[in-house]
């Protein structure tokens, strides 16, 4: 057996999903991201706060496209974004040194903290990175970034996931709360 065979590569592709599953993923993502983007543009944004961050796109893939994944469960979504945002802001604020190192440490510490707290959510790594590399609007938020947009935006997307995924006949979300 070659190395790819031992690693699980080179075999069959994962099973494809049917049109109904694709449609429910599409509907959930449209409503979830649409609502967060609308809040960003028309409600929270005019008050000077960002509400839409790039890592929410990756959360949408998990929440609406793979809702049975352990990484898409409520604790992971909320905790992953919130803790990673705190880590990113702390790294930017407290760590001297070259930007590349601050970026690397922010993401690495966020991953370690998510593992330690049982909140692993891959988009959280992007949230930590956004806290470090964000523009002046993000930087000006300081630790508020962990609440708005990280936690509150994730909560909006989670609310949509609870509704959309439970309206679908073959989905049950969440798989667990803890």
**174: Cα separation from own chain's centroid:** 16
d(CA 1, CA 96): 48
Helix or strand holding residue 77 (H, E): helix 74-94
Q: Where do the domains of the chain lie?
A: 19-167
For residues 106 and 86, give the distance between their C-alpha atoms in angstroms, rounded to a whole number. Answer: 10
Q: In the prediction, which pLDDT does 118 show?
A: 98
Give 7-62 as a DSSP string. Answer: HTTTSPPPPPP-HHHHHHHHHHHHHHHHHHHHIIIIIIGGGT-----THHHHHHII
Tokens 């935006």 belong to 153
pLDDT of residue 178: 77
**Maximum distance among all alpha carbons in the chain?**
60
Per-residue tokens: 30: 């449209």
CB 58 within 8 A of CB 126: yes
d(CA 100, CA 50): 24
- Output the pLDDT for position 168: 94
pLDDT of residue 177: 86
Residues 6+ apart with CB under 8 A from 109: 87, 91, 128
- Averages of pLDDT over runs of 10 residues in the chain (178 residues) are 53 89 98 98 92 98 98 98 99 96 98 98 98 96 98 98 96 92
Closest CA to 66 of 10, 110, 122, 126: 122
Contact assessment for residue 32 and residue 159, using Cβ atoms and an 8 Å cutoff: no
Total residues belonging to the chain: 178
What pLDDT digit, counting tens, does each position of 34-62 carry?
Answer: 999 999 999 999 998 999 999 999 999 99
Q: Alpha-carbon distance 110 to 87, whole Å?
A: 6
């Amino acid at each position: 057996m070659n190395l790819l065979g031992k690693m699980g590569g080179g075999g069959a592709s994962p099973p494809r999903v049917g049109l109904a599953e694709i449609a429910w993923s599409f509907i959930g993502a449209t409503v979830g991201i649409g609502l967060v983007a609308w809040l960003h543009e028309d409600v929270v944004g005019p008050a000077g706060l960002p509400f839409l961050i790039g890592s929410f796109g990756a959360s949408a893939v998990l929440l609406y496209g793979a809702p049975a994944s352990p990484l898409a469960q409520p604790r992971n979504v909320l905790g992953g974004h919130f803790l990673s945002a705190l880590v990113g802001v702390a790294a930017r604020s407290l760590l001297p040194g070259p930007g590349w190192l601050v970026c690397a440490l922010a993401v690495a510490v966020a991953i370690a903290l998510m593992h330690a707290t049982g909140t692993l959510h891959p988009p959280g790594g992007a949230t930590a990175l956004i806290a470090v590399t964000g523009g002046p609007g993000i930087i000006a938020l300081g630790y508020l970034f962990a609440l708005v947009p990280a936690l509150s935006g994730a909560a909006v997307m989670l609310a949509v996931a609870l509704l959309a995924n439970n309206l679908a006949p073959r989905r049950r979300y969440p798989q667990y709360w803890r």
